[in-house]
Amino acid sequence: MSVRARLSGFGGYLPKNVVTNAELAERIDTSDEWIRTRTGIAQRHIAGEGETAVSMASAAARQALDYAGVPATGIDAVIVATATPDQSFPAVAARVQAELGITGGFAFDLSAACSGFVYALSTAEAFIRSGQARKALVIGSEVYSRILDWEDRATCVLFGDGAGAVVLERCEDEAEAGILSTHLHSDGRHGDLLFVGGEDATRPVLHMQGREVFRHAVAKLSSVVDEALERHGLSGQDIAWLVPHQANLRIIEGMARKLALPLERVVVTVDRHANTSAASIPLALNEAVRDGRIKRGELVLLEALGGGLTWGSALFRM
């Protein structure tokens, strides 16, 4: 009997502080119309006092555990995808482990920028398939507000903070449920298109060549989606739901057209969450599962591209 990793729990956390485009326009040279037209974003959540990568990840994880009906002590692995940890070390995952009262198993962070959740999901699935874990928490948690230049209208309007989590469980008796395959890629030659750094070593900030990133996103996401479909002899019409990384509405709409999917079958949160990097896919999943859109037995396709450049897709059946 084949072993698969099934997504059984979903959770999310968004900071209480909501910043609209109009509020940003009071501080920098931009407008609601300028932001909406180019990105589809209307607002974003920004972490406030006491809201950290650890606190948000822990809150999202608790929701996911509750949804799955799994006690924290039953988790063997905690993997957190983040580009904005609270500390260089210990890992956010280790801090989450402590917050949840998990004393066994293992925990570590994974850095693949906006592709981080897909990378972490693939990693956790491998641990479950190999037998090193039976239940895993996979979390994306980001505090991008820490690494933005709030005077650069080309970047600061794009990002938000938040965390999303899923529980993965070893599945042997439901052959059709679970992760069917994941597909990961990277190309370090394009690392300077999207990176965090700068002359001030005490406060590195995000830098992005937006047009070039957009161009690569369209081509690479298209390729990795095709890879997932071809692996299983599927077409876009076989997919019930596309849950893309929430970076830009134009990219999301382009992927929907490629798959011949109406936007009603694409989960979109970028308008309300902005780009929460590794947290964007699990936040969108949590919303769509909890509001009843995504149902058991349906095929769901995930895709993302981020700094590195990194990109990947994952196909699973609920």
- Give whole-number Cα distances, 9 to 53, 61, 178, 198, in Å: 20, 9, 12, 39
In angstroms, the CA 47 to CA 149 distance is 16
Catalytic sites, residue numbers: 114, 245, 275
Joined together, the tokens standing for residue 2 give 């084949």
In this structure, how many other beta carbons lie within 10 angstroms of the beta carbon of residue 36?
Answer: 14
Residue 295 in tokens:
């149902």
Q: 10 Å Cβ neighbour count for 54?
A: 25
- CA–CA gap between residue 161 and residue 172 (Å, rounded): 36
Q: Which two tokens stand for residue 196?
A: 């965090």
Helix axes 53-68, 280-290, angle to 10 degrees: 30
| 161 contacts 56 by C-beta, under 8 angstroms | yes
Beta strands in the chain (DSSP E): 4-13, 17-20, 43-46, 77-81, 106-110, 135-143, 161-171, 178-186, 194-197, 205-208, 241-244, 299-306, 310-317
Q: In the structure encoding, which two tokens stand for residue 108, read together?
A: 């570590």
